[in-house]
Chain A
Amino acid sequence: MLDDFLFRATLAGLGVALAAAPMGCFVVWRRMAYFGDATAHASILGVAIALALSISVFLGALVMALLMALAVTGLSGRGYAVDTLLGVLAHSALAFGLVAVSFLSGVRIDLMAYLFGDILAVGRTDLAVIWGGAAVVLALLAWRWSALLTATINPDLAHASGIDPRREQLALTLALAVVVAVAIKVVGVLLIAALLIIPAAAARPFARTPEGMAAIAVVVAALSVLSGLQVSLMYDTPTGPSIVCVAALFFAASALGTSLRRRLV
């Protein structure tokens, strides 16, 4: 079955959905949407460096995403508003990445694949990397779940319980970098943030607990991947963007349903 490109694409998409959805919940709760965007954009520079050095693209993207995340964390609170800082760093990294890619001969055509993903070209190695990365992210989130939640609600509340919120922040940053690195192949750097945020946002009105929201977000993300793949095959549309489009429709339905329910009650 792994010989079938569609089966591999489905597995790859589900693996990313499984990791990105709960991670995305934290991105939403902690208002890190632009942080996720900046980290994802920076990874294109990592891709360029990896291609130039002929090392694993996954590794290059992971390291660059991590560096970006740490840079933002380190620089915030030093005179610039965080959104200004993210705007500067995210787009600079993207621009430098695009310029760096242009120096590499022969990859100009591939650039689209990194910007918007190339899920239909996922190989066995990619699958192993994606599921390995997803497993690491899920294990990290499960292990730190309670501490992460406490630190997300209030850092002082975490301190009083003997939890160091900075350490939890670091764990989240690490998990985010891994999600970005594994998601490049599936949706590309420009749309990773969408895969993080949209399922979580669509899940919010239906959840009563954080765990419930993460579970619903996983379902929304998985359904988006499955339907997006089908749509892409039927209408010959780019797969990554198609997945995000379906997720966006889920969000629209969720928002519409919530406002209708409010009006009726």
Chain B
Amino acid sequence: MSLIEVRDLSVRYGGNTVLSHVDMSIDRGEIVTIVGPNGSGKSTLLRALIGAVPIAAGRLTRASGLSIGYVPQKLAIDPTLPMTVARFMSLPRRQAPADVEAALEQAGVPDLSNRQMTNLSGGQFQRVMLARALLSSPDLLLLDEATQGLDQPGSAAFYRQIEEVRARLGCAVLMVSHELHVVMSASDRVICLNGHVCCQGTPEIVASAPEYRALFGSGTQGALALYRHDHNHSHDDGCAHDHGHPQGTESGVVPLHQATRGKVH
């Protein structure tokens, strides 16, 4: 059974329909990435999943007792609110100090517990947010452009950590990202969103879908180049669209995140 599933989901803000007829689901242990242009409803979809925006139509089903770790796109802590890193980690539920230390160390930011949240750098802040989200051992980790403000090595390390976390906790990861090259290498599945689901499937399927190319064509030469040599993969899993290029043989299917691991790291 899926951890979370939406069927025919529509979300409206004021008079505008932000999302319409979205179908998607996430299973345990999957890393799924949502890509799409600005204003395509990526963050809204994530916020709908946590129940922060009302659903206009459709159905949202969560596995019972589902625990969610959420890292929002941006978080501004008011300067009038004093908050040490350690205290922030214990929100909303108290955590043992040893667990907090361990989580911070795993996130690559040890010795920060006594610092004020408002004094952290952008990268430290994101890592603390991730560490906090992981403390509750979530079944599902939601990351909304979590690498915003990180430099390239920083964001590469961040995604490496996400993969480690998945391996260690067995949790599913759903993330929104603009960094297409990283997305393509780190995800099991990609959902291409533009108010509705344009296409979804394994990274190689989505990358070769005409809908995806129409949205990202010129900007993703680097990412697309990775596939052009490799058309011998199956096209019949999960993506209902016609991809407009010939079917290859079934042999030699290589998930991209394995194929490109050496390049990314």
Contact = CB atoms under 8 A, between A and B. Distances in A.
Contacts of B52: 155-156, 159-160
Contacts of B93: 146, 161
B83 interface: yes
Nearest to B88: A153
B79 to A, nearest CB: 9
A205 to B, nearest CB: 9
Interface residues of B, number: 26
A160 B87 contact: no
A210 B72 CA distance: 22
A205 B100 CA distance: 25
Contact of A147 (B70, B75, B88, B92): B92
Nearest to A152: B81
12 contacts: A29-B78, A31-B80, A146-B91, A153-B75, A153-B81, A156-B50, A159-B50, A160-B142, A201-B80, A208-B82, A211-B87, A212-B82
Contacts of A163: 92
A88 interface: no
Closest 4 CB pairs of A and B: A160-B70, A159-B52, A150-B92, A146-B92
B124 interface: no
A150 B84 contact: no
B82 A160 contact: no
Contacts of A154: 72, 75
B192 to A, nearest CB: 24
A156 B78 CA distance: 15
A155 to B, nearest CB: 7
Contacts of A147: 92
Given A155-B52, A157-B72, A210 B92 contact: no
Contacts of A160: 50, 52, 68-70, 142
Most chain A C-beta atoms within 10 Å of own C-beta, residue among B50, B82, B84:
B82
Contacts of A156: 47, 50, 52, 70, 72
Given A29-B81, A149-B92, 5 more contacts: A150-B92, A153-B81, A157-B70, A161-B93, A201-B80
Secondary structure of the A side of the interface?
Answer: helix
Given A209-B83, A210-B81, A150 B116 contact: no
Nearest to B76: A154
A158 interface: yes
A59 interface: no
B262 interface: no
Nearest to A164: B51
A149 B116 contact: no
Most chain B C-beta atoms within 10 Å of own C-beta, residue among A30, A154, A211, A212:
A154
B225 interface: no
Most chain B C-beta atoms within 10 Å of own C-beta, residue among A160, A201, A210, A212:
A160
B75 A157 contact: yes
Contact of B83 (A31, A155, A210): A210
A41 interface: no
A213 interface: yes
B92 A161 contact: yes
A107 interface: no
A207 B82 contact: yes
A182 B77 CA distance: 31
Most chain B C-beta atoms within 10 Å of own C-beta, residue among A149, A155, A213:
A149
A204 interface: yes
Interface string B226-247: 0000000000000000000000
A51 interface: no
A204 B70 contact: no
Interface in A208-225: 208-213
A231 interface: no
Contacts of A29: 78, 80-81
B80 A28 contact: yes
B225 to A, nearest CB: 37
Given A157-B75, A204-B82, A208-B116, A149 B50 contact: no
B78 A158 contact: no
B50 A150 contact: no
Given A150-B92, A159-B52, A208-B116, A31 B70 contact: no
Interface string B102-118: 00000000000010100
